[in-house]
Amino acid sequence: MKKTGKKKGMDPNILIAIIGSLTTIAVVIIPWWLDRLDKSAEEPTPLPTTAIPVDLDPTSTFTLTPVPATPTEAVTVTPNVQTGIFDVYLARDEAGLFKRTTFQASETIFIVFSINDPLGRNAVRVAFRTVDVPGFTNGSEVYYYENVYEGPTEVLKANPTGALKPGIYILELSLNGELDETIEFEITR
């Protein structure tokens, strides 16, 4: 007979695979088994019982007495309505679609705002004050007008003839004599 050079016995790779499989099974089964042993050792705690006396006399009767209704105050729900001048912005078009804070000296400025005067007077004062305009003292009022507006949304046309010189201004909106909103904007050449 011819010798092939192979040793008798198991291939070492198969032996390693078998040992790895047995180890994996042991790692999963042993903790599960130990957990089961701990649970079987615990005895359930009995619930406390209390005897409730019940009158089983068939001749006893129940009477139900109605409870008088408690008067309650009427609740008035007031919606969260914003008051004063709000949603103020400047635009380059009358529809208010193109919001801006920088305008050329020749452009018309449109002031868009919403108004809700709880007093119903709706007296609005619009004023332009200088912030940084060459030739003017800071805070100088250079233009204003007053009017009564119906609301709820108004669009005002300002600077129609290019009256505002290049520089930085602040727009002040007052309602019934009290300053309500301000917006800073710039006029360029």
What is the CB neighbour count within 10 angstroms for residue 173? Answer: 21
Sequence spans of domains, the chain:
84-188
| CATH homologous superfamily of 84-188 | Macroglobulin (MG2) domain (2.60.40.1930)
pLDDT at residue 100, as a whole number: 94
Rounded Cα distance, 170 and 183, in Å:
6
CA dihedral sign of residues 115, 117, 123, 125 = negative
Cα(136)–Cα(130) distance, integer angstroms: 7
Measured distance CA(132)–CA(184) in Å, rounded = 11
Residue 44 confidence class, pLDDT cut points 50, 70, 90 = low
CA distance 146 to 61: 81
% residues pLDDT > 90 (the chain): 35
| 0.85 exceeded by pTM | no
So what's the pLDDT on residue 172?
95
- For residue 144, give both structure tokens: 């204003």
Q: What is the mean pLDDT of residues 37-44?
A: 61
Mean pLDDT of the chain: 80
Query: What's the pLDDT score for residue 68?
Result: 62
